Amino acid sequence: MINWKIEETGFNADKIASNGNKYLVGNGYMGIRGTLEEYEKEHLVAVNLAGIYDKVGDGWRESLNAPNGLYTVIRVDEEEYRLPNSDPLEHLVSLDYRRALFSRKTTWKTPRGKVTVESERFASLSEPHLLTMKYTIKADFHADIELRTGIDGDVWDINGPHYDNLSLIEDDGLIKVIGTTHEKGDKVCVTEGCNYNFTCEKNLTVDGKRILRHFSFITKPGISYEITKFISVYTSVDTPDFEKEAKQLVKECIEKGYAFLKDQHVKKWEEKWSVSEVVIDGDDDAMEALNYSLYHLHSIAPRHSESLSIPARGLSGQTYKGAVFWDTEMFMLDFFLYTEPRVAKTLLKYRIDTLNGAKEKARSYGYDGAFYAWESQEGGFDACSDYNVVDVFTGRPMRTYFKDKQIHISSAIVHGIMRYFELTQDKSILEEGGAETIIECAKFYYSLLLKKVNGQFYELHDVVGPDEYHERVNNNGYTNRMAKYTFDMAVKIIDSLDGFNPEAAKHIRDMYPVDDLKKKFSDASSHIYIPQPDKEGVIEQFDGYKKLEDVSVETLKSRLLHEKEYWGGAYGVAAHTKVIKQADVVTWLTLFPEDFPEDILLKNWNYYEPRTEHGSSLSACMYALLACRCGMPEKAYPYFMKSATADLTGTGKQWAGLIYIGGTHPAAAGGAYMTAINGFGGVSFENGELKAKPQLPPSWNKLSFKIIHLGKLYQVEATKEGAVIKECK
């Protein structure tokens, strides 16, 4: 069994950035990096907020980090003790990921004796605007202590500063910092109140962008001196009364106390684990890695909203601009569909509610329908730059085509909406904008179709598939297959309008010439070019792929002149070779294994696997899933572990050219879950029935998990002999 805790002893300054990701706590509204209380912005401290963004000058628009209400530092006998400046005698950080509690314990040796600080904190799962911390000091001598704690408004930004104005205020015993954003004048309000169990001298100061309480006292040897901090975070986007509500929440929490709030928080986490915990008999390492991955998904689920999605780096900071990618629909969605369908609906409602942004993007390129943002921020605004990578040799931005050529993004939204409907039969997702979204995505692909003179097929040219190392290719197999799927789903929606509520059906029929669209989409689906296996059974990833240089990943690495050199683009080392960034054809075959016999699936796995660099954390799970489909769980296992340990090991790619892209990997976490449940567990849904045909790795004796299907909760026990599925009463 696992103990639900990860920890690290000793202090290593080189791990500050990676530990910020590894020890993250969050509640969907905010994510707090696993940094220490005395850290400042150069240590990548972040209280990252969901769904609010700002742009400064020519910098990229990015999500906001709130002022840091955890800031705390001590002086002992007038000397400051803090990491990383003061070497500790002992140091321990830990994360109880069953209960989402981060803690640290650090001991320093001073000239007169030892001083130890301990802290514990959590982002409340029962109250999304609340961050709470308990901080304790103990010395083995009569130490002269000055404890300084408050709110640090000097925020870490990648492309900031985002606050044009900071107000630092004392109000009725509470302190607060209100930042006004540069672009829209949004307000971010952090309010702090505290309890403490000792007698002291105290005063309040403003030090630059910090407002700090000072507590001065003399310790008695062996006695613990404890302060508990209650920090609320609100924005003007949340409510016009953000200041009033922030103050009220802190006052209420001071009255309730730390122990009560912690108990409520832990109870909420236990509710989540009662459905989502996965038990693996025979492999504790895999069980720990998988449930730790699920912890991260729970920590970033936007339960406080009815229409909000999850950024590609979760809430671990501003990397990838805090933007939403196809990661959410294609890699994270299954976890929430199986364990918390209401969250899955929230994620998809975000896409439905940003349909106008997708339609505007399509119009800006001269297309019809809905072209979703590659890097989506609020309103569907596409934050992706035309120059998304920096050349390491010249320092100049490089033209990339993620924003304008990765047209497969719209089909990901269609896939997510339809998968939600199929597994829940909640027709409201279609009646409340989902049907319109699917039709608009089909119109988009229809407007892109080309047919050569005397040609038989419709084609899609000048695209970028999931393998981003090869840009502006024709007939990428994955993209064409997903366009076909989109046409099919649009036809299915039109055919099912009679089953909609009358008002929703009338709205669709008034909006669209549905009979004409059905005819067009049916024709497009029947005649779009879908690459077929060659005589060796291999499907060409895109037109001309077979003519590229066939070289190993290792050989290609040897050609790099700089470790951070970008492999793709016009001049990247991979661009003229068969080496690909991530699963492409394999992703297609994972989603639609019924397209070809199993021997074709296997031949393509064998062909593309050695030619894949896995330069994205999205890649491994697709190889794992297809390996399971081909009856190779032993080959799937290392890819499963690669996904499940992405944030435990911190070995994911940290740079794209000169751009830092570090952070957590929620898509890898979702991919690990899909591999465990859909792959090793063999879960499928046939004619409204939950089924399972397990493919367990050699070391696994049993895999146990729960799934919500059609509103009912089921327990699945999978072994090498088969599966037992029981409805939970």
Give residue-wise pLDDT tens across range 515-569.
999 999 999 999 999 999 999 999 999 999 999 999 999 999 999 999 889 999 8
CB 80 within 8 A of CB 10: no
Whether residue 702 sits in one domain with residue 610: yes
Q: Answer whether residue 657 shows pLDDT above 80.
A: no
pLDDT band at 662 (very low <50, low <70, confident <90, very high): confident
- Mark which of 274, 290, 307 sits at the end of a domain: 274
pLDDT band at 2 (very low <50, low <70, confident <90, very high): confident
Supply the CATH number for residue 313's domain.
1.50.10.10
Lookup: tokens for 155: 């925020």
Per-residue pLDDT tens over the stretch 239-282: 999 999 999 999 999 999 999 999 999 999 999 999 999 999 99
Within a domain: residue 4?
no
Q: Which helix (H) or strand (E) holds 316?
A: none
Q: Answer whether residue 660 shows pLDDT above 70.
A: no
What's the first-to-final CA gap in the chain, in angstroms? 26
pLDDT band at 390 (very low <50, low <70, confident <90, very high): confident
Nearest Cα to 297, choosing from 683, 679, 703, 668? 668
Within a domain: residue 135?
yes
Q: What percent of the chain has pLDDT over 90?
A: 95
Whether residue 354 sits in one domain with residue 408: yes
Whether residue 244 sits in one domain with residue 368: no
Whether residue 259 sits in one domain with residue 389: no
Mean predicted confidence (pLDDT) in 653-674: 82
Whether residue 343 sits in one domain with residue 203: no
pLDDT on residue 563: 87
Domain that holds residue 138: 13-274
Collect all residues with Cβ–Cβ distance below 8 Å to 436 and sequence separation of at least 6: 352, 355, 507, 508, 511
Collect all residues with Cβ–Cβ distance below 8 Å to 443 and sequence separation of at least 6: 368, 369, 370, 517
Q: Answer whether residue 126 shows pLDDT above 90.
A: yes
Whether residue 370 sits in one domain with residue 294: yes
List Cα–Cα distances, 26 to 29, 121, 317, in angstroms: 7, 11, 12
Q: Quote the CA–CA distance of 22 and 12 in Å, as a whole number.
A: 14
Q: Quote the CA–CA distance of 468 and 569 in Å, as a whole number.
A: 8
Q: Answer whether residue 457 shows pLDDT above 70.
A: yes
Whole-prediction pTM? 0.97
Q: Answer whether residue 643 shows pLDDT above 80.
A: yes
Within a domain: residue 8?
no
Block residue for tokens 């696997």: 609
- Mark which of 274, 303, 333 sits at the end of a domain: 274
pLDDT band at 1 (very low <50, low <70, confident <90, very high): confident
Whether residue 670 sits in one domain with residue 528: yes
Within a domain: residue 7?
no
pLDDT on residue 659: 65
Mean confidence (pLDDT) of the chain: 96
Supply the CATH number for residue 55's domain.
2.70.98.40
Whether residue 341 sits in one domain with residue 265: no
Q: Would you call 468 a catalytic residue per the annotation?
A: yes
Q: Answer whether residue 658 shows pLDDT above 80.
A: no
DSSP H helix total and E strand total for the chain: 22, 28
Q: What percent of the chain has pLDDT over 70?
A: 99
Question: For residue 550, what is the DSSP state?
Answer: -
Whether residue 331 sits in one domain with residue 263: no
- Mark which of 274, 306, 340 sits at the end of a domain: 274
Q: Answer whether residue 654 shows pLDDT above 80.
A: no
List Cα–Cα distances, 301 to 238, 557, 627, in angstroms: 17, 37, 29
- Backbone torsion region of residue 687, taken as left when φ is above 0, otherwise alpha when ψ lies between -120 and 50, otherwise beta: left
Per-residue pLDDT tens over the stretch 187-210: 999 999 999 999 999 999 999 999
List Cα–Cα distances, 498 to 295, 367, 395, 486, 599, in angstroms: 42, 30, 58, 20, 41
Whether residue 148 sits in one domain with residue 297: no
Q: Quote the CA–CA distance of 315 and 47 in Å, as a whole number.
A: 8
pLDDT band at 661 (very low <50, low <70, confident <90, very high): confident
Residue 74's Cβ-count burial label (10 Å; 0-12, 13-18, 19+) is buried
pLDDT band at 228 (very low <50, low <70, confident <90, very high): very high
Q: How many domains does the chain have?
A: 2
DSSP 65-127: EPPBTT-EEEEETTEEE-TTTS--SEEEEEEETTTTEEEEEEEEEETTEEEEEEEEEEE-SSS
Per-residue pLDDT tens over the stretch 20-36: 999 999 999 999 999 99
Lookup: tokens for 543: 């037109």
pLDDT on residue 261: 98
Whether residue 215 sits in one domain with residue 282: no
Mean predicted confidence (pLDDT) in 403-412: 98
Lookup: tokens for 124: 């409340």
Within a domain: residue 538?
yes
Catalytic residue among 340, 468, 613, 717: 468
Nearest Cα to 666, choosing from 45, 28, 121, 68? 28
Within a domain: residue 2?
no
Question: For residue 382, what is the DSSP state?
Answer: B
pLDDT on residue 653: 62
Whether residue 531 sits in one domain with residue 518: yes
Mean predicted confidence (pLDDT) in 143-153: 98
Q: Quote the CA–CA distance of 309 and 220 in Å, as a whole number.
A: 50
CB 54 within 8 A of CB 138: no
Mean predicted confidence (pLDDT) in 100-126: 98
Block residue for tokens 């106390």: 257
Low-confidence winner among 491-505, 531-545, 642-656 (lowest mean pLDDT): 642-656
pLDDT on residue 671: 98
Q: Answer whether residue 577 shows pLDDT above 90.
A: yes
Within a domain: residue 3?
no
Within a domain: residue 304?
yes
CB 546 within 8 A of CB 540: yes
